[in-house]
Amino acid sequence: MSDNERRRAGRHFLQIPGPSPVPERILRAMDMPVIDHRGPQFQKLGQRVLAKIKGVFKTDSHVFVYPTSGTGAWEAALANLFSPGDSVLMYETGHFATLWKSMAQNLRLRPEFIGSDWRGGVDVERIESRLREDAGHSIKAVCVVHNETSTGATSRIDEVRKAINAAGHPALLLVDTISGLACTDYRHDEWGVDVSVSGSQKGLMLPPGLGFNAVSEKALAFARKAETAKQFWSWEGMIPHNARGFFPSTPATNLLYGLDVAIDMLYEEGLDHVFARHQRHGEATRRAVAAWGLDTICLDPRLYSPVLTGVMLPEGHDADRFRAIALDHFDISLGAGLGRLAGKAFRIGHLGDINDLTLLGALAGVEMSLSLASIDCRASGVLAAMEYLRETAAAEAA
Amino acid sequence: MSDNERRRAGRHFLQIPGPSPVPERILRAMDMPVIDHRGPQFQKLGQRVLAKIKGVFKTDSHVFVYPTSGTGAWEAALANLFSPGDSVLMYETGHFATLWKSMAQNLRLRPEFIGSDWRGGVDVERIESRLREDAGHSIKAVCVVHNETSTGATSRIDEVRKAINAAGHPALLLVDTISGLACTDYRHDEWGVDVSVSGSQKGLMLPPGLGFNAVSEKALAFARKAETAKQFWSWEGMIPHNARGFFPSTPATNLLYGLDVAIDMLYEEGLDHVFARHQRHGEATRRAVAAWGLDTICLDPRLYSPVLTGVMLPEGHDADRFRAIALDHFDISLGAGLGRLAGKAFRIGHLGDINDLTLLGALAGVEMSLSLASIDCRASGVLAAMEYLRETAAAEAA
Amino acid sequence: MSDNERRRAGRHFLQIPGPSPVPERILRAMDMPVIDHRGPQFQKLGQRVLAKIKGVFKTDSHVFVYPTSGTGAWEAALANLFSPGDSVLMYETGHFATLWKSMAQNLRLRPEFIGSDWRGGVDVERIESRLREDAGHSIKAVCVVHNETSTGATSRIDEVRKAINAAGHPALLLVDTISGLACTDYRHDEWGVDVSVSGSQKGLMLPPGLGFNAVSEKALAFARKAETAKQFWSWEGMIPHNARGFFPSTPATNLLYGLDVAIDMLYEEGLDHVFARHQRHGEATRRAVAAWGLDTICLDPRLYSPVLTGVMLPEGHDADRFRAIALDHFDISLGAGLGRLAGKAFRIGHLGDINDLTLLGALAGVEMSLSLASIDCRASGVLAAMEYLRETAAAEAA
Amino acid sequence: MSDNERRRAGRHFLQIPGPSPVPERILRAMDMPVIDHRGPQFQKLGQRVLAKIKGVFKTDSHVFVYPTSGTGAWEAALANLFSPGDSVLMYETGHFATLWKSMAQNLRLRPEFIGSDWRGGVDVERIESRLREDAGHSIKAVCVVHNETSTGATSRIDEVRKAINAAGHPALLLVDTISGLACTDYRHDEWGVDVSVSGSQKGLMLPPGLGFNAVSEKALAFARKAETAKQFWSWEGMIPHNARGFFPSTPATNLLYGLDVAIDMLYEEGLDHVFARHQRHGEATRRAVAAWGLDTICLDPRLYSPVLTGVMLPEGHDADRFRAIALDHFDISLGAGLGRLAGKAFRIGHLGDINDLTLLGALAGVEMSLSLASIDCRASGVLAAMEYLRETAAAEAA
């Protein structure tokens, strides 16, 4: 055993703040015998969860729940709605937007991609102007990522809808809010979203394994004409079963136990309070980054993400080497730079079951690792974050 | 609260033997913090699990692991291999075979369905003769269900392959072993299977949420020509990531913790011992059924399932009413008759983490419920099962 | 590995019905981080639990909770109340009564022991007549076991108190209700008990590790004069801390998490319903014993225990060999004959988180093991129990 | 709900570093069904644990394990060894030493207490000189606290033994190592300790509920003459049962599951590595305290505790108000000043399942709370600790 391994031997490999930390209460709720997914006890669970999840999306429409990942939920949305050859307008907010675009290609759609340098979110004017050009309405949908997990930019979905409407275009609005939902305000109905795609492992504080599609009536109607081959993803096949609290095929029962509790926890705290908590931790993190003299990936202050903060390393430094140092020395698993940011950036999460002190521990881990990696810092980011958290904690407690 | 609800209040709603009971050791292994699925700790887990799972399928080929259900794993197999319009020969062993056939239709394939009365397994001669007719080799694959969960018949996959070969036909062999794998012997390589489809919630003793495709080199090559639109299911997209222990999209991390332990448990006991255990519990159950004077759904003794036993009720009795009586009075969740057997049959599982006494408890629940439902029994099935279990326990301990 | 070991390999070693099975909900509640036992969060827990536990004893008096076993709770009662040389009248209901008497001797008290053949419970007339003889009131207390776990006899504590009163004797009444509490009705206040001793691992459905003393005002006053050296057990030392929800030394925090939930579960079901459930399972067990042609240890039908049933084996059979057969072949852990019943009797528990089918599984295990041990049975006890459970289940559900 | 409560709602109430954090692996190991404590499966556990625990105490002598707290283990040691009226020499290292002395008084012993100002550990010269005065050897034992949890001073037990020997005195040596064991080196045999008292909830990383007595042959022989009334605590009563892996009364089975794993974890990491880890975290903490300009309670650098650091607040500041601020604002549960230090000091733990970043989070919580409580700090303790941890992490990884 190396000394690093010895240090961790037999202990929980403490990771601040890699994947969204799952609260103990949720893990314990999932640690229960599997019940018959066709029996009356499951039915009550199914009905309860399918009803409660709507409030998280702020929708009265149907929310489909799949035993899948976020990627599966992307595919569900595209496969249900479109036919091969359909055009969709997508926006390159970052790595995940790019992956979704690739998926659209692989599903034989014709995605049109509005390019960007990944340093901001969606520029709604570019969407509006493109749609105005599409007089023949060949574009079937606009697809955007709400919170781009690869960069830390949270686009304004309400403004995307306004842009579509301003262009007088009938396009559907599809939104990936995999990492945005339940971390920051999201309003499926009010914002006129047609399909919201999400997953279990971020704001819902669950392990990965559930994917979601919240779907407007308009999208359901649109989907009935789609010709992409699918069965597992089929919304139509799901609806009659869901109506009675069931699923057409075997659901991920134990994750549904966890979802049941996770939604309760969000409501017990209050969604607005949850959002404010993430916002405050995001601001603390950005103050640390600024103190270090580093740049966040996202350059648009209106769109700073409350979920995670992407950080650029100065030229000449290898972000993956830096991340390995952090992991080796301090058991902290920082997010990698993805796609075109690979090796150039890293990401700090501030979502899930963390509090002020776990966040500060994480920032301390970053700061010490920057030093070990010989990346000069202007000042202590930990102190900057502490100052902000202390002041706002005092105000909050007042 | 009704008296039934009071009886259960606050207690684990004990279900013998509905879904495959998950061993405590597996549930606890899954009850752990989510690790970063792109970090080195996950990599070791991924490499280990992807290697070990091969032994369960008895294959050296690639086994793909999806965060999905068995239905998803069906779709993965079909979507990877075929193009719209492709013909496949499927066999109507029961409800699940019928669902798989419907899926093939929905995926725009042209399934040809060899009909049956659901009272047996695959008649390999019918497959051979049909393939002999297909001189032009328009049939791309033969798709059969190994252990038909809706009836309790375990077809002879080795003989299916022999029939294909005897017909001199190049068809691929696809096998659904969702409920067969790890309960009864299964040999992907030796039997010449091209794609084996399975799931986590049966013989692997896990909660639902993982789907598997074991895929021969021949099938991988065949798949490269397929034109069905897919991305999430793509084998090709998975291979390079799997090679390093990773997955292209977010895996169901905590289920993989459980899979890691589940496979260890199978090997600790020894696969042959696992198979013998299920066989013995199946025989005990069938002796009970015979004593009651009831018929098993499966009429072919060669194909009796060691995983579950489907039981026909006499004419004039509603099996769902009977099942409700069992659940209401004895907290036992019996499998429903499915499809054309709805209301006419019920199913007793004997898989997962059960032992002689939990099985006997289950049989006692059935016997008492038969009485409460005024279904006359010839003799006590419990006593018949006890006699067999007692004798064989003595022999085993000797 | 032997075949027996292989059969169990890696699986939960299923034990029906050895120690009181702990509900999953309670185990999960205990599976939580330890909180500071001097902080405000613990205080709320402490206050809640100390208040709620009174209802289980049906008392308004103080209930002391120790991090200890039932044996420790015995010692707490004796050490608080008495001085070396004090006389106490104890009753030989069985092995545990005998152990308590030995403890009294070791604590330098002078226990007077009313002997019995262990085949019944307390004969209150013998207590009354002995107290009438004690004109000088040298006997300080009467100590009886409520539910004698070594035999399965539940004595009438109300009648013991009446006997004491009828004798016009001022003796305190001490009751060991370690296995009776929360399984069968117990009324500390109404029955005039001065100290009720109990533990966590029986009717309270917890793992072992908590001991209880419910103490009347009269006993608290009496204890102030006691001269036995003690500190850890001291009621006086506990009272001021308990008043604020705390404990003078480190409590078994995680067991208190479990106790909090366990009491909730008892109230959710309703104590009377809990008692009736155990009564019904006791009757089913006794019908099985009668069908086998065996005798229960307890020969007094008024005092049959709803918690467990002790069973005599016919002369010439070694009960421990029989129990080993049951354990080896069927993974069922039956209680041993204790003390003078060692090798002659075994015990079947019917308490904790069991239901009709787990009980029947247990009885089936006994029946098969009787056969393997060549102990002739008159008829099937399992069928007798099934008949009773079926009939009463039907009535209950009606 | 107050804003503080909202912040925590439904979430694990994160406490750094109040009670010793229990690793997930240990909590899960305890979250298992209770097995029969008189059966062969328990026997293996009992034998294994009773053997392995000796290595933690570094002794070949018997280690007794009780279902009790540390206070109970104190009482076990005194009750087994002494008779009323026996003289023992105790040393006032702090609050816990004082409590132990009170217990000795309550058990009718005659403790002689060597007083101190609680700002250091044991001055062995005072012990030696007092023993030299005791020419008649009326002092039966010297009782000292190894790691005084109320102050953070770790006395030199080896030197205490040398002092006793130097005085040519036959006194037994009793050591409370409740919080020292498994955090810092402890050598029962080599140091000539006669009874080592410990508990589960500190270095053994378990919840509270187990108490330990490691007992030399000399002490066992001495105990046979003792006349203090006891039964539950009796070493003699325990020995024959322990010899076969059992206990005379019901053990805390699930805590023994945890102990089994905890000892494995200590050995997997290596005891010396465990000790070095605590030492490093202690030094980091003391550097923070020094940077803040505060004093540690312990003024003797030779005896600084690697387990916890007690910190004096400047005159005029209420330490309990400060601790309440920390808890309210940052969910950090700091140890209170106890006894004569109440309101004047607080304590930072650095034991159990923590790593560099959780410690830094804790120190950040202290630093922010000092500011909120208007306690001026000279400099940032967090930065001082980070500097030390960073340097030593680099060295360790090298």
pLDDT digits (tens, 9 = 90+) for C312-368: 999 999 999 999 999 999 989 999 999 999 999 999 999 988 889 999 999 999 999
Look at C32 and A28 and tell me if their CB atoms are within 8 Å.
yes
Q: Determine the residue of chain C that is closest to D27 in CA distance.
A: C31
- Which tokens is B328 given? 């209401």
Coarse DSSP helix, strand, coil percentages of chain C, rounded to the nearest 5 percent: 45, 15, 40
Q: Which residues of D381-393 are buried (b: 16+ CB within 10 A; e: fewer)?
A: bbbbbbebbbebb
Q: What is the pLDDT, as a whole number, of residue B353?
A: 81
- Give the tokens for residue D228: 């203090």
Chains near A with 3+ CB pairs less than 8 A apart are: B, C, D
Give the H or E element holding residue B355: none
- Tell me the C-alpha to C-alpha distance, in Å, between residue D363 and each of C180, D311, D368: 50, 12, 9
Q: Do C32 and A32 touch (CB under 8 A)?
A: no
**Whether the Cβ atoms of residue C333 and residue C322 lie closer than 8 Å to each other:** no
Provide the shortest C-alpha distance from residue A26 to chain C (in Å): 11
pLDDT tens track for D318-350: 999 999 999 999 989 999 999 999 999 999 999
* Chain C environment of D333 (Cβ under 8 Å): 35-36, 39
Number of Cα atoms under 13 Å in the Cβ half of residue C234: 23
Residues linked to residue B175 through DSSP beta bridges, in sequence order: B144, B196
pLDDT at D12: 41
What are the φ and ψ backbone dihedral angles of C90, each rounded to 5 degrees?
Answer: -120, 160
Interface contacts (C, D; CB < 8 Å)? 184
Q: Check pLDDT > 90 for residue A350.
A: yes
CB contact under 8 A, A31 and C32: no
Given CA atoms A7, A13, A17, A22 in this order, what sign does their dihedral have? negative
* C24 near A CB under 8 A: yes
Prior bond to D17 cis, omega within 30? Answer: yes
How many residues are present in chain D? 398
The C-alpha of D263 sits at a distance from chain A's nearest C-alpha, in angstroms, of 10
Whether residue A3 is predicted with pLDDT greater than 90 in this model: the reply is no
What's residue B17's pLDDT? Answer: 52
Residue D213 is encoded by which pair of tokens?
A: 């007595």
Q: Which residues of C49-73 are buried (b: 16+ CB within 10 A; e: fewer)?
A: bbebbbebbbbebbbbbbbbbbbbb
Q: Which pLDDT does position A18 carry in this prediction?
A: 56
Phi, psi of B140 (to 5 degrees): -85, -30
Contacts with B232 from chain A: Cβ below 8 Å? 68, 71-72, 74-75, 103
- pLDDT value for C352: 82
Any idea which residue has 């997508």 for tokens?
A90
If you measure CA to CA, which chain C residue comes closest to A27? C28
DSSP H or E segment with residue D267: helix D253-269
Q: By CA distance, what is B72's nearest residue in A?
A: A232
Contact of A12 with chain C, judged by CB distance below 8 Å, is answered with: no
Cα B233 to its chain centre, rounded Å, is 20
Distance (Å, rounded) from C-alpha A160 to C-alpha A194? 12
Cβ-based contacts of C31 with chain A (< 8 Å): 28, 31
Choose among A304, A284, A249, A294: nearest CA to A361: A284
Residues in chain B, pLDDT under 50: 1-4, 6-14, 16
pLDDT of D263 above 80: yes
Partners of chain D (3+ Cβ pairs below 8 A): A, B, C
* Contact residues for D47 (Cβ-Cβ < 8 A; gap 6+): D244, D245
**Structure-block tokens of residue A228:** 């992409």
Residue C48 has pLDDT above 70, yes or no: yes
Angle at D82 between CA D79 and CA D84, to 5 degrees: 95
In angstroms, the first-to-last Cα distance of chain C is 50
Question: Which residues, 6+ apart, have CB-to-CB distance to A276 below 8 Å?
Answer: none
Residues of D in contact with A275 (CB under 8 A): none
Q: Is the pLDDT of residue A9 over 50?
A: no
Q: Taking Cα atoms as reference points, which of C74, B342, C240 lies closest to residue D249?
A: C74
Reported ipTM: the value is: 0.95
Render D124-160 in DSSP notation, one character per residue: HHHHHHHHHH-TT--EEEEEEESEETTTTEE--HHHH
The number of residues making up chain B comes to 398
pLDDT classification of D18: cutoffs 50, 70, 90:
low
pLDDT of D259 strictly over 70? yes
Residue pointed to by tokens 């066992």: D220
pLDDT for res B297: 98
D396 pLDDT above the threshold of 70 = no
| DSSP string covering A182-220 | TTS---TTTTT-SEEEEESSSTT---S--EEEEE-HHHH
HSE-CB of A189 using CA atoms within 13 angstroms: 11
Q: What is the mean pLDDT of chain D?
A: 94
Per-residue confidence at C5, pLDDT binned at 50, 70, 90? low
User: What is the share, in percent, of chain C residues with pLDDT greater than 70?
Assistant: 94
> DSSP label at B40?
H
Rounded to whole angstroms, the Cα distance separating C394 from B134 reads 59
- pLDDT class of C7 with cuts at 50, 70, 90: very low
Which amino acid is located at B56 in the chain?
V
Q: What is the C-alpha R_g of chain C?
A: 21
Peptide bond into C17 cis (omega under 30): yes
Q: Residue type at B12?
A: H
pLDDT higher than 80, residue C225:
yes
Q: What is the pLDDT of residue D7?
A: 47
> Residue D42's closest CA among A102, C19, B392?
C19
B199 contacts chain A (CB < 8 A): yes
DSSP B335: E
Answer yes or no: are the C-beta atoms of B131 and B171 closer than 8 Å.
yes
Inform me whether the C-beta atom of residue C367 falls under 8 Å from chain B C-beta atoms. Answer: yes
CB contact under 8 A, C11 and B265: yes
Cis previous bond, A17, omega within 30 = yes
A8 close to A1: Cβ distance less than 8 angstroms: no
Per-residue model confidence as pLDDT tens digits over C274-325: 999 999 999 999 999 999 999 999 999 999 999 999 999 999 999 999 999 9
pLDDT for residue A133? 98
The answer to whether the bond into D170 is cis (omega within 30° of 0) is: no
Rounded CA-CA distance B362/B352 in Å is 14
CA nearest neighbour of C264 among C77, C25, C75: C25
* Mean local confidence (pLDDT), C229-240: 95
More confident residue, A21 or D42: D42
Q: Please give the structure tokens belonging to residue A288.
A: 């640390």
pLDDT tens-digit profile of C142-169? 999 999 999 999 999 999 999 999 999 9
CA C183 to chain centroid, in Å, comes to 8
| CA A293 distance to own-chain centroid | 27
CB C76 within 8 Å of CB C174: no
Q: SS3 of D379, please? A: coil
- How confident is the model over A88-140, as pLDDT tens digits? 999 999 999 999 999 999 999 999 999 999 999 999 999 999 999 999 999 99
Nearest residue of B to residue D30, measured between CA atoms = B28
Kindly indicate the confidence band of residue A228, based on its pLDDT and cuts at 50, 70 and 90.
Answer: confident
CB B27 within 8 A of CB B21: no
- The set of chains that have 3 or more CB pairs under 8 A with B is A, C, D
Helix or strand or coil: residue D61? coil
Is B360 in contact with C364 (Cβ distance < 8 A)?
yes
Judge if the upstream peptide bond of residue A33 is cis by omega within 30 degrees of 0: no
